[in-house]
Structure 1
Amino acid sequence: MKNVKVVRTSTIPLSLNILLKGQLSFLKEKFDIVGISSNNDDLKEVAYREGIHTIAVDMERSIAPFRDIISLIKLVKIFKREKPLIVHSITPKAGLLTMLAGKMAGVPIRMHTFTGLIFPTRTGLMQKLLIKMDQLLCWSATNIYPEGNGVKNDLMSFRITNKPLKVLANGNVNGIDLKYYSSTSVVNDEVNRLKEDLEIHQDSFIFVFVGRLVGDKGINELVHAFDKIQKTIDKSIKLLLVGSLEAELDPLLNSTLNIINSNKDIISVGFQKDVRPYFAISDALVFPSYREGFPNVVMQAGAMELPSIVSDINGCNEIIVEGVNGTIIPVKNTEAIRAAMFKFLNDKDYYHKLKKNSRQMITERYEQHVVWNALLEEYNTLIAQYEKSKKK
């Protein structure tokens, strides 16, 4: 079906580059794939690595009515010119704009994957506005895919849509490349060299967080929990923060920033394109996010044989099974984070049991080609249904 054009969109190109790595190249063997996102080097990298045509359309992550209308008009023009049979979006703003533009341009199959929901963590007028935006997205879409059963349940409970909601494979948008995310993919010399560069003692127990350093990711609670536990334990422990510090949309508390800057055992390394070496030097992931769709970080850590401490939210509570490959704690709870970290440090039998199960739990449920083939099958099914409807 190389003559069938499929447009994939995301708000920022980092999402296409990271979240859909390899998937677009896989689909290109069957379809004419076009990637659309905002313009920066990530979009160029997607085009080169995946071997697809890309088009830059700047889209704002925040609510920006004037700029959103400009983006919408550009997308309508592109869809009318490119004439795709399918448009398929991920991320909130790209989803709203792509589905509306697809409907306006007469694209027959309009698919959106909800990789996460913002409105459940908001209140008041902002929550109502976000709900209306997602309801508009779903109204203009033909097919809707929650990334996991937690997201599906939220869409249903908030009455976002009456349309069918289908979870593909076991829920994740791209699955895990188990060859890439493997403890054997990082050589010992690289691990030792990174520890030396970061001035980490070989016997230190390292907790790692990977993601944006913002309030919604639970960084305030995590940093304060680590600072507290460090003062009550005589073992050498480190907290490794791997991700960019964002000071605009959801900045950290000043007290959190002060601790990060003053505590020598909290090591912030910024955004890293390849996170595997940082997983390789670590002992456990701590991911106390307030909201997720289906977090890749938790699966990546598990594939790298790390047990996880995660908050009881969508995705996290599907990947992690309590007491099997990690532990699940309440959201926004500093004391719960501290207690879970303390147990990892002091109950070695418990820790090693979780560690032993971590990779197997990912291998059995989220191998990448299982996810890719499920999506390919869905595309083929929708195309067949459309072709059948044309003949009537």
Structure 2
Amino acid sequence: MVVVTAEVTARLFMRGYVEFLSRSGYEVMLVADDLSALREPLFERGVRAMSLPMSRDPAPLRDLVSLIRMASLIARARPDAVVYATPKASLLASIAARVLGVPLRVYELWGIRFETARGAARALYRGIERVIATCSTVVVANSASLAARAAEFGITGADHVIVLGEGSSHGVDSKHFSPLAEVPEIDEATAAFLAEHEGITLGFVGRLHPDKGIDTLMAAASRLAEQGEDVRVLLVGGAEGAAVEFPPGVAVHLTGEVMDVRPYLGVFDVLVLMSRREGFPNVVLEAASMEVPAIVSDATGCVDSVIDGVTGYVVPTGDVDALGSVITELAGDPVALRALGVAARRRAVKTFDPEHVWRLSEEHLRSQLERALRRRTASR
């Protein structure tokens, strides 16, 4: 049984994995809040899809109902292993699976939500993470820095958390994300913005949330503009959290949410992700696969996504001067910029092919499951 909170997570992050498990001989059930649209295509590939309503944010009464439903589903299905990711699904599935004695309980840790939280929220989310880890037989972090941070924060012991390969939750499809792939045209407003403004194109893709370090990107762009550098900033994503402030004198365009990010990645010169926390940022792999290098912060997760000086650059979190210096250097050396992009795609194709990532997960799952079933047999 594989459990995540939202349908979009199941569709984008887990669908390929569960289909791979089915092809590898497992009987697989995928659970999320609403899988009605995926039920038939998954069934055709040997995967059962079950919808179980879950709320992403804390909602005690609804969470209790969801926990009871989760326990009922696990009791009926009697899985040998439950694999879960995302906070709410992991909390419900880990508790229910442990109470019901599921032999193998795998927590796919994709980020630490409380890392940038404060006060009561930090205490609450830290407590939730510790409960999940305690109820799990193994924690699989999707980056080395995330595994280290989990141990540092006391979520789990260093001997209880592992990283498979070089991390990532599901890798990147290098045929879909390719500079040679046929992609839609960018929208007219974005095309007009690019035609109107010149300079190195600094791109961002994701939620426009304070944790993503948009303020650092905008401050660096503003400083470069004041110094006479030609820069233009393209923000791809929907607003979430505090509003993004656009400093005067900076060429900035906000696309809003888009269905296909590839046309926009294709016009970036460099992706900038100055996030304050991540697990392993998928967008860096998607950009890399499109031969777009990245400048990332040295925050958890981000630091694992780039080989500094080879596939991009790593700069201190929140350091406007350091970010500006790297942008200036790249703007003045298009040959080096191109070389970074080529190296980034080479790494994405070689190290983060989805089949490779899924195979590592399946091999780990198989070895842990055999061990868990031996323990269960020995205890009888």
Match of 2:19 in 1: 25
Matches within 5 A, 1:36-185: 36-39=31-34, 43-51=35-43, 52-162=47-157, 164-185=160-181
Match of 2:236 in 1: 242
CA separation in 2, counterparts of 1:58 and 1:352? Answer: 46
The 8 Å contact of residues 221 and 334 in structure 1, kept in 2 or not, is answered as yes
The answer as to whether partners of 1:22 and 1:50 remain within 8 angstroms in 2 is no
Q: 1:364 & 1:342 partners in 2: Cα distance?
A: 30
Q: For 1:22, what is the secondary structure of its paired residue?
A: helix
Shift of 1:389: 3.0
Who is 1:372 aligned against? Answer: 358
Contact 1:17 1:45 in 2 (8 A): no
- Flag the 1:21–1:241 CA change in 2: closer, same or farther, 3 A: farther
Q: Which whole-Å CA distance do the structure 2 matches of 1:386 and 1:21 have between them?
A: 25
- The separation in 2 between residues aligned to 1:197 and 1:175, in whole angstroms, is 28
Structure 1 window deviating more from structure 2 (66-75 vs 135-144): it is 66-75
Number of residue equivalences: 371
Gaps of 5+ in 1: 1-6
The residue identity in structure 1 corresponding to 2:336 is: Y
Residues 72-99 of structure 1 deviation map (CA, whole Å, 9 limit, x = unaligned): 1121111112222211111122111110
Counterpart Cα distance in 1 of 2:112 and 2:134: 17
Q: Distance in 1 between matches of 2:317 and 2:236?
A: 21
Superposition map of 1:181-330 within 5 A: 181-186=177-182, 190=184, 198-199=191-192, 200-201=194-195, 204-233=199-228, 235=230, 237-246=231-240, 250-252=241-243, 256=245, 259=246, 265-330=251-316
Q: How does 1:339-358 map to 2 (within 5 A)?
A: 339-358=325-344
**CA separation in 2, counterparts of 1:35 and 1:264?**
46
RMSD over aligned Cα atoms = 2.4
Higher deviation after alignment, 221-230 or 370-379: 221-230
* Corresponding residue number in structure 1 for 2:374: 388
Separation in structure 2 between the aligned mates of residue 76 and residue 374 of structure 1, nearest angstrom: 29
Q: TM-score, normalised by structure 1?
A: 0.86
Structure 2: runs of 5 or more not aligned: none
Cα offset, 1:148, TM superposition: 1.3
Deviations 1:331-381 (A, max 9, x none): 233343333322222233432332231111222321221111111112222
Question: Structure 2 counterpart of 1:166, which letter?
Answer: I
Preserved CA contact (<8 Å) 2:276 2:300: no
Say whether the 8 Å CA contact 1:195–1:201 is kept in structure 2: no
Judged with a 3 Å threshold, the aligned counterparts in structure 2 of structure 1 residues 295 and 13 are, in CA distance, closer, same or farther, namely same
1:16 aligns to what?
A: 10
Equivalent position SS for 1:317: helix
Aligned residue for 1:360? 346
The percentage of counterpart residues that share the same residue type is: 27
By how many angstroms is 1:289 displaced? 0.8
Query: For residue 359 of structure 2, what is the amino acid of its counterpart?
Result: N
Instruction: Provide, for residues 108-159 of structure 1, a one-character-per-residue CA deviation record: whole Å limited to 9, x for no partner.
Output: 2111110011223234443333222211111111121111111111121122
Preserved contact between residue 225 and residue 249 of structure 2 (Cα < 8 Å): no
